[in-house]
């Protein structure tokens, strides 16, 4: 918000915390303590279940993401298949939210989002298949180790670009934000949600965005590996999570 304010030549938030830096925390707290409004024509059980399901599924994929050497908790030999399965389940929370709201705007937004996610999962799957062929493994840790000599974003540069664009569409980022077209559908499938339900959709969406950025880092940018293959003592001092975080920030 401070950056947007500076672009528009405004001061922006300047009351909560030093220079208004704690304003996002105040906004989040205000959102969580607001009253939850349930539409009279909605299917209440499914209406409440949809944001919980979306948020829960967005967190399940983080279980096998290797943030650094030795920092992963579950090393699955079928890690790629696990991620593809979890990501394919995410559409259920969205379509349930659109249908249970009993609103034409929510339902049309859910249909748009579901169609877009299912369509681009195909390109994501074929892009990941190219990485699997090069690494000869479905294990995410083995894929990172296989990039010690060269990151896959160099020999597989066209695949890398396709994967990155597909991730933008999968997470409904600009210019693939058609499900949230304000002029047509107001806010998309979450237009009827407020307070905690809206917050869970918001957190789930950004958790999924971070997950796709982390997956891009693991598959194409060497994960926790330093940027140069030759030994430099300074690089050995820095932990792998440091390099992973830098690469992750580039795609968020």
Q: In whole angstroms, what is the distance from residue 142 CA to residue 138 CA?
A: 8
Pinpoint the alpha helices (H) of the chain.
2-7, 23-33, 44-60, 79-100, 104-135, 140-145, 157-170, 182-185, 195-220, 233-237, 240-251
DSSP 8-state class, residue 179: G
Burial class (CB in 10 A: 0-12, 13-18, 19+), 189: buried
7-66 pLDDT per residue, tens:
878 877 777 777 777 877 887 788 778 877 888 888 888 888 988 898 898 888 888 888
Spans of all domains in the chain: 1-33, 37-251
145-175 pLDDT per residue, tens:
888 888 888 888 999 999 999 888 888 777 7
Q: Which residue has the tokens 């493994």?
A: 137
Write down the pLDDT at residue 251.
Answer: 77
Average pLDDT over the chain, rounded to an integer: 81
Q: Flag the least confident range among 62-71, 105-114, 122-131.
A: 62-71
Q: Flag the least confident range among 103-112, 127-136, 161-170, 182-191.
A: 182-191
Q: Which residue has the tokens 């906004």?
A: 27
Please check whether residue 99 is in contact with residue 46, taking contact to mean a CB–CB distance below 8 angstroms. Answer: yes
CA distances (Å), origin 28, targets 33, 52, 154, 191, 198: 9, 17, 40, 18, 11
Please check whether residue 241 is in contact with residue 225, taking contact to mean a CB–CB distance below 8 angstroms. Answer: no
**116: CB partners within 8 A, 6+ apart:** 169, 170, 172, 176, 178, 179
pTM of the model: 0.82
Chain-centre distance of CA 201, in angstroms? 12
């Amino acid at each position: 918000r401070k950056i947007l304010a500076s672009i528009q030549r405004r001061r922006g938030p300047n009351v909560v915390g030093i220079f208004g830096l704690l304003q996002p925390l105040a906004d989040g707290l205000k959102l969580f303590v607001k009253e939850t409004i349930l539409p009279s024509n909605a299917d209440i059980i499914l209406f409440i279940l949809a944001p919980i399901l979306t948020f829960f599924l967005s967190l399940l994929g983080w279980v096998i993401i290797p943030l650094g050497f030795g920092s992963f908790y579950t090393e699955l030999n079928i890690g790629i298949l696990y991620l593809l399965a979890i990501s394919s389940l995410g559409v259920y929370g969205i379509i349930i939210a659109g249908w249970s709201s009993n609103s034409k705007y929510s339902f049309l937004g859910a249909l748009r989002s579901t169609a877009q996610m299912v369509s681009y999962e195909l390109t994501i799957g074929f892009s990941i298949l190219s990485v699997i062929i090069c690494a000869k493994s479905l294990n995410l840790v083995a894929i990172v180790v296989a990039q010690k000599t060269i990151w896959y974003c160099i020999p597989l540069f066209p695949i890398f670009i396709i994967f990155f664009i597909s991730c933008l569409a999968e997470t409904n980022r600009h210019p693939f934000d058609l499900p949230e077209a304000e002029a047509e559908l107001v806010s998309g499938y979450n237009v009827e949600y407020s307070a905690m339900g809206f917050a869970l959709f918001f957190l789930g969406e950004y958790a999924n965005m971070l997950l796709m950025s982390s997956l891009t880092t693991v598959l194409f940018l060497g994960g926790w590996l330093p940027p140069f293959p030759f030994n430099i003592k300074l690089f050995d001092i820095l932990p792998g999570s440091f390099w992973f975080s830098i690469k992750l920030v580039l795609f968020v």
